[in-house]
Chain A
């Protein structure tokens, strides 16, 4: 493997390029028309355009990406996360083109992308699954009677879904028929398939997941678990490892189940097995993510391993360079996702231009970002801007470092959730480890209102701006004498 094309953008493309450079592997970036000057373009050794701003015609265009790989002479493609990373057709097209796909083969993506098939496979391998229905008979009457058998409330999930679309919780039998019809409509629109899986609804669950690694020779090991219970709209916001909810014995059983799931899936490369953890300590298979996870850096922080490097080695056909006993987790790590969105305004995305950026530094701090001063944050793509990761010898130290790092992170020009993240990691319930997937709705439902700015600090800001050379202003203002805008003289 000499040259890797990175079929992604943003922070993950930058992060993958860094490991490649450290390994002496050349990198190729791809970019849409909206990303001509994006940071990831310059993180690679060369860069090729793949189409217009719309993701469906650029970062999701299989033919354009495979053609770019051929044109650049790349011998492998790393898909990152999101976009085509879990697309079986993409993995197949890459392999057909004679290139290495850094991830599992197409068949694994397809079987794990089908929730009913994945559930059946896991159950047969002895991995705990929630009481539910994953049968082929999808008649409305059949589903209604299965729902009654499972018990209320019941969760309806599209078999080929993701991202929370088409998912519904039904508490009463009389609401089932209309909820099923609505879920089917949404699933047909979003995924082109309206088969449903039913599962017992777990109230206030925790989200835990096991990082697995598997090589082509069938060696499988785990890199322990992560907890990702702090979510909004089924999107993770804060992640950590180890999970504060697990005893050593529960952790051992969870990780064994993760490895069993990977074996059952005939998994190759790095993957993640997601579980729901109930208040009584029981856990059940949720789904398998057949790619690198956004939150992989927390695992890297406690294990000292570079997961992207291991992905590349596995993809190159080498055996795993370590055995389970070599994997030791030390201390505690947290990750906060810095999003271009406004927590005081229903988490609405907030596009804009990055005018100023200061990354946090210091002991136990890692900052993975896909932006730079001047970056345009557009509505075309995911609003994730950067990830702040902190490590500490224990959870309290990791949290204290995270609060400090978030305070030191400065991003002007784009509204972000930075202050909300700092409030989360400083919240008493968070510090006690009392997490569940409804945490944000429970503790952050009300808008705290605008923060007041002391007059002296406003004065300091105006004094500061009067020191800036006029050329920093926008062109339309550059001829305006600063004295006449906030100047010393009142002109009559």
Chain B
């Protein structure tokens, strides 16, 4: 989840997954399945659902995303992570943000993990995604096994 601002408007956005050449992006609670292809560094083709096409140009510079779209230029600023995420970090778990299937469990209970270590692999929208440890710790509990379907918000692994 990322908080962004462009002009005088604030957004909460989350790039969820890639599948079928599409990318699912949540913006302010609305999901968009977007067909975006990279043409060259910084230049992208965007095919809309009604076959209309657009070209986007965007480049990241630190926390600023520079965007040119339909003849206008925008500066999108990434804000700090939202407060809700920090609250959950204290809770010590690892959650699924969207529906998927667990295809690999890389840790066992009692194992010490480094920050960034791969903990689980979950398939969603036909993409495999690694869930990594947000910090160093000891695996206290694992609530899922391979093949389990998981719902958003469900705690999958708990770290000490």
**Interface residues in chain A, defined as those with a beta carbon under 8 Å from any beta carbon in chain B:** 353, 355-356, 358, 406-408, 410-413, 415-416, 418-419, 422, 449-453, 455-468, 472-474, 476-477, 481, 483-492
Given contacts A453-B9, A483-B130, A484-B132, contact A490 B76 (CB under 8 A): no
How close is A373's CB to chain B, nearest CB, in angstroms? Answer: 8
Give 5 CB contacts A-B under 8 Å.
A422-B71, A453-B6, A459-B34, A468-B38, A483-B130
- B126 at interface (Cβ–Cβ under 8 A)? no
Q: What's the nearest-Cβ distance from chain A to residue B141, in Å? A: 13
**When chains A and B are docked, how far (Å) is the Cα of A383 from the Cα of B124?**
49
Give the top 10 A-B pairs by smallest Cβ distance, nearest first: A450-B7, A407-B71, A463-B23, A459-B25, A491-B134, A412-B66, A464-B44, A455-B27, A492-B88, A356-B42
A468 touches B66 (CB 8 A): no
Least CB separation from B8: chain A residue = A450
With A456-B32, A485-B2 as known contacts, state yes or no: A492 contacts B73, CB within 8 Å: no
A413-B61, A463-B25, A463-B36 given; A458·B132 CB < 8 A: no
Give, as a whole number of angstroms, the nearest-CB distance from B103 to chain A: 14
Query: Among B41, B69, B88, B96, which residue has its beta carbon within 8 angstroms of that of A472?
Result: B41
- The CA-CA distance from A492 to B43 in the complex, in Å, is 34
Please determine whether A461 and B76 come into contact, CB atoms closer than 8 angstroms: yes
Contact of A492 among B13, B67, B155 (CB under 8 A): B155
Interface size on B, residues (CB 8 A): 71
Distance from A277 Cβ to chain B, minimum over Cβ atoms (Å) = 33
What's the minimum C-beta distance from A447 to chain B, rounded to whole angstroms?
A: 12
CA distance A228 to B27 in the complex (A): 46
Selected contact of B56 from candidates A451, A461, A476, CB within 8 Å: A461
Given B25, B58, B132, which contacts A412 in the complex, CB threshold below 8 Å?
A: B58
- Contact in complex: B36, A467 (CB < 8 Å): yes
A492-B134 CB under 8 A given contacts A355-B66, A456-B32, A486-B14: yes
B110-150 interface code vs A (CB 8 A; 1 in, 0 out): 00000010000010100101111010000000000000000
Assess whether A455 is in contact with B30, with CB atoms less than 8 Å apart. Answer: yes
Q: Are A490 and B1 in contact (CB under 8 A)?
A: yes
**A412 near B42 (CB under 8 angstroms)?**
yes
Interface code B1-35, partner A: CB below 8 Å = 1, 0 otherwise? 11010111101011111100001011110101010
If A450-B9, A468-B38, A486-B2 are given as contacts, then 19 extra A-B residue pairs at C-beta distance below 8 Å, sorted by A number, are A355-B42, A355-B59, A411-B73, A413-B66, A418-B73, A419-B71, A419-B72, A452-B7, A457-B67, A458-B13, A460-B25, A461-B56, A461-B69, A463-B23, A464-B36, A468-B42, A484-B132, A490-B85, A492-B91
Are A358 and B43 CB-contacts (below 8 A) given A464-B36, A468-B38, A489-B96?
yes
Q: Which residue of A lies closest to B35 (CB)?
A: A463
Interface centre among A356, A416, A483 (most CB of B within 10 A): A356
Query: Which chain A residues border B102 with CB–CB below 8 Å?
Result: none
- Given contacts A455-B28, A461-B56, whether A492 and B92 have CB atoms under 8 Å apart is yes
Bound-complex Cα distance A487 to B17 (A):
8
CA distance A45 to B70 in the complex (A): 38
Q: Are B58 and A461 in contact (CB under 8 A)?
A: yes
Contacts of A453 in B (CB 8 A): 6-7, 9, 67, 69, 74, 76
Contact B4 A458 (CB under 8 A): yes
- What residue in chain B is nearest A487 (Cβ atoms)? B15
- In contact, B93 and A465 (Cβ under 8 angstroms): no
The answer to whether the Cβ of B89 comes within 8 Å of any Cβ in the partner chain is: yes
Q: In the bound complex, do residue B27 and residue A356 qualify as a contact, i.e. CB atoms below 8 Å apart?
A: no
Contact (A464, B76) CB under 8 Å given A410-B68, A492-B93: no
Chain B residue numbers with a CB within 8 Å of A483 are 129-130
